[in-house]
Amino acid sequence: MASSSNYCRNSFTMVSVTLLMVMCSMMSFASAQLSTSFYSKSCPKVIGTIRSEVHSAVSKERRMGASLVRLFFHDCFVQGCDASILLDDTSSFKGEKTAFPNINSIRGFGVIDDIKKKVEKVCPGVVSCADIVAIAARDSVVILGGPSWDVKLGRRDSKTASLSQANSGRLPGPTSTLANLINRFQAVGLSAKDMVALSGAHTIGQARCTNFRTRIYNETNIDTSFAKTRRSQCPATVGRGNNNLAPLDLQTPTGFDTKYFQNLIHKRGLLHSDQVLYNGGSTDSLVEKYSKDSKTFNSDFVKAMIKMGDINPLTRSQGQIRKNCRKLN
Ligand code: HEM
Ligand SMILES: *[C@@H]1O[C@H](CO)[C@@H](O)[C@H](O)[C@H]1NC(C)=O
């Protein structure tokens, strides 16, 4: 949707203005419906309720903040930000949780359940799981020291999920080339700049050995001592120690800052898909800028998170407000 509305803005002068206006208002309808004040009458306590639950989850385990940010990304890139990722498999239904990018990797479902229970007590049947995920991601960034913003709200929850979409490459993998990353983001209406800014989320959180083994053993654009340190916890033999963890930002793994970009400049990106952002290509200058300028990074990151949150929301009578985020009503 975001891409179609961008296209629309640029093509007004080209053909029939009225026809285009009708088409464009239809296409951008859904995201235009989101609003930062959506629950101000129906559930004024929702923001505080979610924030205190995220606070307690992140104080128990700092990494959970990172996991909640990633949950929002993986929700939005498959079918849009509609809580499709939260649906459990059943005997007759295979959801997104077992998709390659998610299995043994995506976390935070229990925290979302806890939040939902509290929110249902304050305002039953009002707040969607999709909006809870969006707010929890923002709260996590703030708690870990990053910027704040007003989250656009009013998303509804899907009645479906898509294992095949989740496995289709929509969610780019850690061995992606720069061209592939740019493509995958473009496909959901996000620019190369948005992609680099959003990759800055790798200033927090952890990755598993299986996702960076080839990089630390076989790539040459990597700092030697960094590779050596990472090898000590990630065996070369394929299949061994696959789930051993390493921080995506070796300097401040639970602090939201610009050290991720500084690492890239020193060839200390953990994933192949991190280092391609600074490897002689078109995004080098932006990485340099963000590494030195946290104000610009924070502001671009916020803009891109808001844009990502606008991907194909369900609104009005679409979807439902799930009572339990794991299953349909
Ligand atoms: C640019 C394309 C991206 C790729 C290829 C990518 C890939 C990955 C991979 C492979 C991991 C480690 C998973 C594991 O080993 O279990 C990871 C972790 C993470 N990703 Fe990304 N990611 C990308 C973009 C993003 C975006 C846009 C966000 C959020 C805005 C994000 C947030 C995170 C966070 C916070 C973690 C750590 C999660 C945790 O510790 O639980 N990533 N990513
Ligand atoms: C490194 O490359 C060699 C030669 O292509 C290959 O046999 C080996 O499996 C690779 N190792 C890793 C850890 O990717």
Compute the average pLDDT of residues 180-189: 98
Query: Is-same-fold flag (46-171; 178-307)?
Result: no
β-bridge mates for residue 208, sequence order: 245
pTM of the model: 0.92
Q: Please, what CATH class does the domain formed by 46-171 belong to?
A: mainly alpha
Q: Give the range among 5-19, 80-94, 304-318 with minimum mean pLDDT.
A: 5-19
CB atoms within 10 A of CB 188: 20
Which among 70, 143, 213 is the best mutation to test ligand 1's pocket, defined by most ligand atoms within 8 Å of the CB? 70
In this structure, the residue with its CA closest to atom 3 of ligand 1 is 172
Q: Is 214 in the pocket of ligand 2 (CB under 6 A)?
A: yes
HEC string of 278-328 equals: HCCCCCHHHHHHHHHCHHHHHHHHHHHHHHHHCCCCECCCCCECCCCCCCC
Q: In whole angstroms, give the CA distance from residue 211 to residue 169.
A: 15
Task: Give the whole-angstrom CA distance, residue 318 versus residue 307.
Answer: 21
Which tokens sit at 9? Answer: 């803005």
Domain residue spans in the chain? Answer: 46-171, 178-307
232 has a pLDDT exceeding 70: yes
pLDDT of residue 31: 55
Distance CA(323)–CA(64), nearest Å, equals: 23
Over range 146-173, report the average pLDDT.
97
Are the C-beta atoms of 176 and 273 separated by less than 8 Å? yes
Judging by beta carbons within 10 Å of its beta carbon (0-12, 13-18, 19+), is residue 197 exposed, middle or buried?
A: buried
Residue 4: the pLDDT is 40
pLDDT of residue 32: 59
Q: Which has the closest alpha carbon to 305: 314, 297, 316?
A: 297
Ligand nearest to the CA of 214: 2
The C-alpha atoms of residue 57 and residue 179 are separated, in whole angstroms, by 37
For 178-307, CATH number?
1.10.420.10
Amino acid at 142: V
Q: Binding-site residues for Ca(2+), please?
A: 75, 78, 80, 82, 84, 96, 203, 249, 252, 257
At 48-98, the pLDDT tens digits run 999 999 999 999 999 999 999 999 999 999 999 999 999 999 999 999 999
What's the rounded Cα separation, in Å, for the pair 253 and 249? 5
Q: What is the pLDDT of residue 33?
A: 86
At 275, phi and psi to the nearest 5?
A: -70, -25
Mean pLDDT, rounded, of the chain = 92
Q: Is the pLDDT confidence value at 19 over 50?
A: no
Q: Is the dihedral of CA 209, 256, 102, 275 positive or negative?
A: negative
